[in-house]
Amino acid sequence: MLSIKRIQKEAGEIIERLKVRNFDGSEIIGQVIDQDKKRRGILQDTEKKKAELNRLSTDIGNLFREKKNDEAKQTKEKTGKLKEEIKKLDKEVGEIENKLNDLLIQIPNIPHSSVPAGNSEGDNEEIRTGGEFPELPGDALPHWELAVKYDIIDFELGNKITGAGFPVYKGKGAKLQRALINFFLDEGTKAGYLEVQPPVVVNEDSGYGTGQLPDKDGQMYYIQTDNLYLIPTAEVPVTNMYRNVILDAEELPVKNIAYTLCFRREAGSYGKDVRGLNRLHQFDKVEIVQIQHPGKSYETLEEMTVHIEGLVQKLGLPYRIMRLCGGDLSFTSALTYDFEVFSAAQKKWLEVSSVSNFESFQSNRLKLRYKEKGEKKTNIAHTLNGSALALPRILAALLENNQTPGGIMIPEILRPYTGFDIITRNP
RNA sequence: GGAGAAAUGGCAGAGUGGUCGAAUGCGGCGGUCUUGAAAACCGUUGUCCGUUUACGCGGACCGGGGGUUCGAAUCCCUCUUUCUCCGCCA
């Protein structure tokens, strides 16, 4: 969320910049400013009364000690009314704070100045492209047919044991998946990321911390008995490791990489684009997360983009990098680059990574701060994350783009991980 | 799952109703001493909020929430977590 202080200082500019994401913030920001002013007024009143009560209490203690019991009793009588008033004012402040919080969580992050205006995907801006489009024969198969032909992914079996969107990977399919995970993790650790294995189930506080709650409540699987959520991305547990933490400035940037399962209900996305591996309820993903000094977070975003680009290049996939327009930008992000690879048999661009700078939007809520050496003041850090990479669509593109009459060729770089260089019908 | 114990500052650890934001030790930071370092000694050392040009002043926080009291780290309720023992188990 945005900080109240920033809203007070830059209200006009914020309203202006939120227009890029087609968000009219004028009314809500006005309300925030009003409520905050009201809050501070009452707070001052409350604190004055509390100070008075504290003084009386100290007096009473002293009087008892000096055996002036009568005087103490008299003083005691003065406190009753004061206490009542304090109770009432405290309640008022609490109510206003709740209201303020409700307002604040409705305001999305401020888009970076480079974010183009626009309503949807079509308005995203292409930044770079790379890789070669494969020359496939006319009878090239989409990956869901290759999966059957080579018996490497079983969608039917997944339907049977769980439901749609939960495939079973088999044989070389499973091994290829495992190879990709290890490859991505190794590349990340080489680039200085610390590997972590977080829980894939998180509590409510963590959901709020990174902004999945209350916004995307219905998109997460929820375990009612224990009031826990299955994570939609490793971003949630990894970033929340730093909830309520004050880092030393020298520790920045913090770089973590995590492989986890991800679970998404994908409510409301039935129909198109859900065939095969294109959209799953459970999938594997390697995620990179950084915590950075505010002055350096955009440099870091570029660095992460280059890292991800390197992965796609090493896998030999044709790709393009898109800068998301205001309308396509997620609620919490200030700037996002999407990576898409071309899956040549279905002739589709598939999103395989999304790398974002959240600036202080998550950190404000997380209370994630850092402190310069020798300074007393704490500052809000910036958080960033990106997929590096999401597995299923990479797998889809690899299968489709590398199919040959003799089998599916494994990219050179993965062969040390798979132990085989081709997927054939008879393993 | 059953029985019991506990949760205090970066860490260790005192504190069972009043000047306790909290003793003491360690660590950290600054200084004296030293060619340099160590040791020793002296000082300092939490976070958030409000207010103030500033010095400062005020409020809140001893796992979370609620309560009793003029006054709570201390008493009561509740939740969470940790430890010990028993049971079950990858």
Dist. CA A369–CA A381, nearest whole Å: 5
Helix (H) or strand (E) holding A89: helix A69-104
CB < 7 A to strand B: residues 343-372, chain A: 369, 371
Q: Does strand B come within 7 Å of the CB of A76?
A: yes
Strands A194-196 and A254-263: parallel
Dist. CA A388–CA A386, nearest whole Å: 6
Average pLDDT of A217-226? 85
**Structure token digits, residue A59:** 């007096």
Nucleotide nearest to A72 (CA to C1'): B70
Q: Tell me the percentage of chain A whose pLDDT exceeds 70.
A: 98
pLDDT score for A371: 87
Mean pLDDT of chain A: 92
Specify the range with the lowest mean pLDDT, choosing from A29-33, A207-211, A281-285, A286-290.
Answer: A207-211
pLDDT score for A250: 86
**Structure token digits, residue A117:** 């205006």
Q: With bands split at pLDDT 50, 70 and 90, how would you rate the model's confidence at A426? A: low
Residues, chain A: 427
pLDDT score for A269: 67
Task: Answer yes or no: is pLDDT of A64 > 90.
Answer: no
Say if the ipTM goes beyond 0.95.
no
Q: Around Cβ A298, how many Cβ atoms within 10 Å?
A: 18
A346-374 pLDDT, tens per residue?
999 999 999 999 999 999 999 999 988 77
CATH topology (fold) of A4-104 = Helix Hairpins (1.10.287)
The domain segmentation of chain A, as residue ranges, is: 4-104, 121-423
A330 CB burial (10 A radius; 0-12, 13-18, 19+): middle
Q: Tell me the percentage of chain A whose pLDDT exceeds 90.
A: 77
pLDDT score for A272: 66
Q: With bands split at pLDDT 50, 70 and 90, how would you rate the model's confidence at A213? A: confident
CB < 7 A to strand B: residues 216-255, chain A: 246
Residue A368 vs residues A36, A43, A67, A309, A363: alpha-carbon distances, Å: 23, 25, 51, 29, 5
> Would you state the CATH architecture of domain A121-423?
2-Layer Sandwich (3.30)
Angle between helices A171-190 and A297-314 (to 10 degrees): 140
**Structure token digits, residue A148:** 């059957």
